[in-house]
Amino acid sequence: MIAEEIHRITEALPAGVRLVAVSKYHPTEAIREAYAVGQRVFGESHAQELQRKHEELTGLEGLEWHFIGHLQTNKVKYIAPYVSLIHAVDTPRLLTEINRQGERAERRLRCLLQLHVAQEETKFGFTPDEAMTFLDSGEWQQFDHVELAGIMAMATNTDDTSRIRNDFHRARLFFEQARDRYFSPDTFNEISMGMSDDWHIAIDEGATLIRIGTQIFGHRVY
């Protein structure tokens, strides 16, 4: 079933869109099953869980870990040595700490700014205005161990597809504005959006990374 879902999804992906298989709360056997059919990028959202899985799976060549959830500043040090992409940078303070830990690990850490575009109070992230104010401040330009590579967003949790489309669309417009103002399209090139229930819409709206858990691995055991 894991293999089937991965084939089903990857066959539907247009060129330039990559699947992040969200393996949080699922055992490493599930990750091995996905790896066996060619999946290489996995998303986790808890630093300790990621650390444990990374240690268990170090032998798997080419495996890439993405940290997709809310990241606490005091946890950055655990993942900095090996994480490939941090999807959800939601405060300047977190980016400062990522830069510090990137320096310690002697790496340049690729990061996405998390945009808050959903009609919900509880979600983390910068509003598009806050994100642009942060970029305008230039503070991030001094960070030698961080590379801002794009944005990440979540849509409103609703059945109203026009609202979901609208959320993703706003995220994409911000991405284009920010890129054109501050970055090279060669390095600022990722739009992470779309989960099990809305990834088709996200791809229509320009996603380059889709983060899918439940559809591949089934319901999570908490």
Ligand X SMILES: *Cc1c(COP(=O)(O)O)cnc(C)c1O
Assess 212 for contact with ligand X (CB under 6 A). Answer: yes
* Of the residues 45, 99, 101, 208, which one makes contact with ligand X according to CB under 6 A: 45
When CB distances to ligand X are compared, the closest residue is 213
Cα separation, 184 vs 12, whole angstroms: 28
Cα separation, 30 vs 104, whole angstroms: 32
| Window contacting ligand X (CB under 6 A); options: 32-40, 133-141, 200-208, 213-221 | 213-221
| Window contacting ligand X (CB under 6 A); options: 31-39, 55-63, 101-109, 208-216 | 208-216
Of 146, 71, 68, the C-alpha closest to 109 is 146
* Residues that contact ligand X, how many (by CB under 6 A): 12
Q: Who contacts 160 (Cβ-Cβ below 8 Å, separation ≥6)? A: none
Assess 22 for contact with ligand X (CB under 6 A). Answer: yes
| Window contacting ligand X (CB under 6 A); options: 104-112, 134-142, 160-168, 205-213 | 205-213
Beta bridge partners of 20: 211
Cα separation, 94 vs 195, whole angstroms: 24
Q: CB of 197: closest distance to ligand X in angstroms?
A: 6
* Of the residues 69, 102, 125, 128, which one makes contact with ligand X according to CB under 6 A: 69
Assess 150 for contact with ligand X (CB under 6 A). Answer: no
Of 30, 20, 142, the C-alpha closest to 83 is 20
Yes or no: say if 25 and 220 are a contact pair by the CB < 8 Å rule: yes
* Of the residues 48, 127, 161, 214, which one makes contact with ligand X according to CB under 6 A: 214
Assess 99 for contact with ligand X (CB under 6 A). Answer: no
Cα separation, 197 vs 126, whole angstroms: 23
Structural element, H or E, at residue 55: helix 47-56
Which residues contribute to the site for ligand X (CB under 6 A)?
Answer: 22, 24, 45, 68-69, 195-196, 211-215
